[in-house]
């Protein structure tokens, strides 16, 4: 595995090429090849490369600057390394330009719609000359699509609904992707000696799973100079507005960034104001008004006198409230809880003692379990669970019964030699359509930990899908339900489930519900977590890492848990090794 390099937001290239831009180009290449009906192994190579690049904690441009061998990355061969370097050097890929001449680029946007795979998109293009979403809208209105073979009333109704939702959808970007854009931008602003602090506010500070616009707050005694410097950032495509204390720009790649600069005495007030949410701020301002006070981005005022505003904590305290962490500021009861000294003590990353889902090269991971264990130990974990896939999933080389027995023995020998980190022998076993598990109980009973997951048949009815999960939880060896709703952010909607029933059955059967920390999953979401906690559900918080570098994904799960009001006591892998082991033993006895 390639080693980490310094990533300080600086680059010797004239233009910053973000990982997300390489991902976008390779995704379009794969999609266009797929629509053409090209070689499936060639297509798969691009998609594997996309998965690798999406998961990287570092910028590929930085790796190239350091002279690193990209072929050391999983799924990146020499040919793809050459293409990556072409993208970083030129900002584009000649191969993509050639494909666009052969297949209209707009066709790839159709793949975002439910029920449309490459073959159907190919048919729409050949038979109806549909090249984009607008063409599809027109043909649907003219009832021409339903006349095609393979496109019935059900599919056309799905497409019409999806296109209606698409028309009103505001483009948002996943949290992890936003992080890579922020490094060079905040570094640029901070280089001004007059800038004392730089904050990223808005929905980013509240740790929402997707972000619309970016809100930057800078603290300086000379706001005008900072504003001018901000608008000279090399990656700016367009300046929307600029004033003495604020500016708004569009940066590469088409992201709106709003800057506000305030003097040090207004730091807390401005940070509160620009963090939001709007509903939270309105409720706080109304409390202030009832006390004869006014709260704005400059401070708290009584009449014309400023009486607070340098820190957020003093603002909340002045209004008779406990300090409310940014993740809770969504007007979901946090203000009332703060008034009654009843806010949760939110879980922190440092509270986590273990990581309960990860994969090795025995299934679809990139490294050995010893390598995963070594990195987890460096991150301060006391225990981990190795949970390679069972062999039911066709896309992975999962473990059959013989391989599981061998892995259990190997892990046992490891634990006998190493005392600083304990490895639980686990499995991520598939839940079949009828709710049975892909492995017999005689095998499951030999494992320390069983993680159960749905990886197929996502479109079952609400009743069937709910019963499927309930039956899995009733298996006496089921410890955890992984990524319980199956959603993939911006790609796949959650499957239909009666979550109230699922939560109650999880409690009844002492089954943990996972908060999956993969940036594209973050499943359960914050609202699900809040509802489950109220019922008494306990959670596992897992990285679902497929490489040592992905073990740091746990922080994204922690953000999600905090937005769901979870405390350390709600998350079982904050327990000590002894306490967690006892929990597993009690489950087996039961």
**DSSP one-letter string for 211-241:** ESSEEEEEEES-HHHHHHHHTT-TTEEEEEE
- Residue range(s) defining the domain that contains residue 548: 349-589
SS3 of 498, please?
A: coil
The answer to whether residues 107 and 131 touch, using CB atoms and an 8 Å cutoff, is: yes
Is 2 a member of any domain? no
Please indicate, yes or no, whether residues 294 and 386 belong to a single structural domain of this protein.
no
SS3 of 303, please?
A: coil
Percent of the chain with pLDDT over 90: 75
Please indicate, yes or no, whether residues 294 and 327 belong to a single structural domain of this protein.
yes
Q: Which residue has the higher pLDDT, 330 or 147?
A: 330
Please indicate, yes or no, whether residues 267 and 379 belong to a single structural domain of this protein.
no
As a whole number, mean pLDDT of residues 38-64 equals 90
SS3 of 292, please?
A: coil
Residue 579 pLDDT > 70: yes
Structure tokens at 259: 């800057």
Please indicate, yes or no, whether residues 247 and 182 belong to a single structural domain of this protein.
yes
Domain boundary at 168, 191, 226, which? 168
pLDDT tier, 477 (very low <50, low <70, confident <90, very high otherwise)? very high
pLDDT tier, 105 (very low <50, low <70, confident <90, very high otherwise)? confident
d(CA 427, CA 386): 7
What pLDDT sits at residue 168?
Answer: 64
Is 69 a member of any domain? yes
User: Which residues, in sequence order, are CB contacts of 392 under 8 Å at separation 6+?
Assistant: 398, 429, 430, 432, 438, 455
Domain boundary at 168, 189, 215, which? 168
Please indicate, yes or no, whether residues 178 and 164 belong to a single structural domain of this protein.
no
The answer to whether residues 355 and 571 touch, using CB atoms and an 8 Å cutoff, is: no
Instruction: Indicate left, alpha or beta for 116 from its phi (over 0: left) and psi (-120 to 50: alpha).
Output: beta
Please indicate, yes or no, whether residues 164 and 179 belong to a single structural domain of this protein.
no
The answer to whether residues 274 and 201 touch, using CB atoms and an 8 Å cutoff, is: yes
Domain boundary at 339, 357, 383, which? 339
Residue 326 pLDDT > 60: yes
Indicate the number of domains in the chain. Answer: 3
Please indicate, yes or no, whether residues 458 and 403 belong to a single structural domain of this protein.
yes
The alpha carbon of residue 558 and the mean position of all alpha carbons in its chain are separated, in whole angstroms, by 11
Q: Where are the beta strands (DSSP E) in 243-399?
A: 246-251, 255-262, 294-296, 299-302, 305-308, 354-355, 383-386
Residue 115 pLDDT > 80: no
d(CA 500, CA 528): 10
The answer to whether residues 129 and 138 touch, using CB atoms and an 8 Å cutoff, is: no
Residue 551 pLDDT > 80: yes
Please indicate, yes or no, whether residues 191 and 211 belong to a single structural domain of this protein.
yes
CATH number of the domain at 411, please.
3.20.20.140
Summarised one tens digit per residue, pLDDT across range 334-382 is 999 999 999 999 999 999 999 999 999 998 888 999 999 999 999 999 9
User: Which residues, in sequence order, are CB contacts of 337 under 8 Å at separation 6+?
Assistant: 322, 343, 344
What pLDDT sits at residue 7?
Answer: 46
Is 411 a member of any domain? yes
CATH number of the domain at 35, please.
1.10.150.110
d(CA 575, CA 568): 8
Write the secondary structure of 134-200 as one string of H (helix), E (strand) and C (coil): HHHHHHHHCCCHHHCCCCCHHHHHHHHHHHHHHHHCCCCEEHHHHHHHHHHHHHHHHCCCCEEEEEE
What pLDDT sits at residue 146?
Answer: 86
pLDDT tier, 3 (very low <50, low <70, confident <90, very high otherwise)? very low
Give, in order, the Cα–Cα distances in Å from 163 to each of 82, 140, 169, 240, 458: 38, 10, 10, 30, 21
**Residue recorded with tokens 């089954």:** 511
Please indicate, yes or no, whether residues 495 and 436 belong to a single structural domain of this protein.
yes
Residue 397 pLDDT > 80: no
As a whole number, mean pLDDT of residues 423-439 equals 95
The upper half-sphere exposure of residue 424, i.e. CA atoms within 13 Å in the direction of its Cβ, equals 28
Is 3 a member of any domain? no
Pairing of strands 255-262, 246-251: antiparallel
Please indicate, yes or no, whether residues 369 and 508 belong to a single structural domain of this protein.
yes
As a whole number, mean pLDDT of residues 251-258 equals 88
What pLDDT sits at residue 171?
Answer: 79
- pTM of the predicted protein model: 0.87
Please indicate, yes or no, whether residues 33 and 109 belong to a single structural domain of this protein.
yes
d(CA 574, CA 578): 11
Pairing of strands 195-200, 214-220: antiparallel
In the beta sheet, which residues pair with residue 200? Answer: 216
As a whole number, mean pLDDT of residues 273-301 equals 96
The answer to whether residues 552 and 518 touch, using CB atoms and an 8 Å cutoff, is: no
The answer to whether residues 178 and 214 touch, using CB atoms and an 8 Å cutoff, is: yes
Residue ranges of the alpha helices (H) in 435-574? 441-444, 462-474, 499-508, 526-535, 554-563
CATH number of the domain at 312, please.
3.30.460.10
Please indicate, yes or no, whether residues 386 and 329 belong to a single structural domain of this protein.
no
């Amino acid at each position: 595995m390639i080693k980490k390099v310094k990533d300080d937001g600086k680059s010797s290239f004239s233009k910053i090429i973000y990982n997300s831009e390489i991902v976008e180009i390779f995704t379009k290449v794969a999609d266009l090849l797929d629509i053409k009906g090209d070689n499936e192994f060639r297509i798969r190579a691009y998609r594997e490369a996309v998965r690798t690049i999406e998961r990287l904690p570092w910028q590929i441009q930085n790796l190239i600057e350091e002279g690193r061998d990209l072929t050391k990355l999983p799924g990146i061969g020499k040919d793809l390394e050459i293409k990556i370097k072409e993208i970083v050097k030129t900002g584009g890929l000649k191969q993509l330009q050639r494909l666009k001449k052969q297949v209209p680029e707009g066709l790839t946007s159709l793949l975002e719609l439910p029920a449309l795979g490459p073959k159907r998109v190919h048919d729409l293009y050949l038979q109806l000359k549909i090249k984009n979403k607008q063409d599809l809208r027109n043909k649907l209105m003219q009832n021409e699509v339903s006349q095609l073979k393979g496109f019935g009333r059900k599919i056309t109704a799905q497409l019409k609904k999806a296109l209606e939702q698409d028309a009103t959808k505001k483009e948002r970007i996943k949290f992890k992707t936003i992080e890579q854009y922020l490094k060079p931008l905040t570094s640029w602003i901070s280089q001004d000696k007059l800038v004392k602090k730089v904050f990223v506010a808005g929905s980013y500070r509240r740790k929402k799973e997707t972000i619309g616009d970016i809100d930057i707050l800078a603290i300086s005694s000379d706001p005008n100079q900072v504003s001018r410097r901000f608008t000279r950032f090399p990656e700016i495509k367009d300046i929307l507005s600029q004033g003495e204390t604020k500016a708004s720009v569009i940066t590469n790649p088409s992201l709106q960034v709003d800057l506000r600069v305030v003097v040090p005495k207004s730091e807390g007030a401005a940070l509160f104001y620009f963090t939001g949410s709007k509903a939270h701020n309105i409720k706080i301002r109304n409390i202030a008004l009832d006390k004869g006070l006014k709260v704005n981005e400059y401070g708290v005022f009584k009449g014309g006198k400023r009486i607070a505003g340098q820190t957020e904590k003093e603002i909340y305290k002045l209004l008779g409230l406990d300090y409310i962490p940014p993740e809770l500021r969504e007007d979901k009861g946090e203000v009332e809880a703060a008034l009654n000294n009843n806010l949760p003590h939110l879980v922190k990353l440092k509270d986590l003692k273990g990581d309960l889902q990860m994969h090795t090269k025995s299934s679809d991971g990139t490294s050995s379990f010893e390598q995963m264990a070594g990195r987890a130990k460096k991150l301060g974990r006391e225990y981990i669970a190795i949970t390679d896939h069972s062999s039911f999933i066709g896309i992975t080389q999962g473990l059959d019964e013989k391989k599981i027995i061998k892995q259990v023995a190997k892990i046992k020998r490891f634990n006998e030699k190493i005392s600083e980190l304990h490895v639980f022998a686990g499995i991520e076993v598939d839940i079949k359509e009828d709710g049975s598990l892909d492995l017999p109980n005689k095998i499951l009973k030999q494992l320390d930990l069983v993680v159960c997951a749905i990886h197929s048949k996502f479109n079952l009815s609400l009743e069937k899908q709910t019963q499927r999960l309930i039956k899995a939880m009733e298996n006496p060896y089921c410890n955890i339900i992984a990524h319980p709703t199956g959603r993939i952010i911006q790609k796949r909607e959650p499957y239909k489930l009666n979550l109230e029933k699922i939560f109650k059955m999880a409690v009844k059967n002492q089954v943990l519900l996972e908060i999956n920390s993969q940036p594209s999953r973050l499943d359960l979401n914050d609202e699900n977590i809040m509802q489950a906690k109220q019922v008494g559900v306990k959670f596992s918080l897992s990285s679902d890492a497929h490489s040592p570098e992905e073990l740091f994904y746990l922080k994204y799960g922690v953000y999600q848990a905090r937005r769901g009001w979870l405390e350390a006591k709600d998350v079982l892998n904050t327990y000590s090794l002894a306490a967690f082991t006892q929990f597993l033993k009690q489950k087996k006895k039961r």
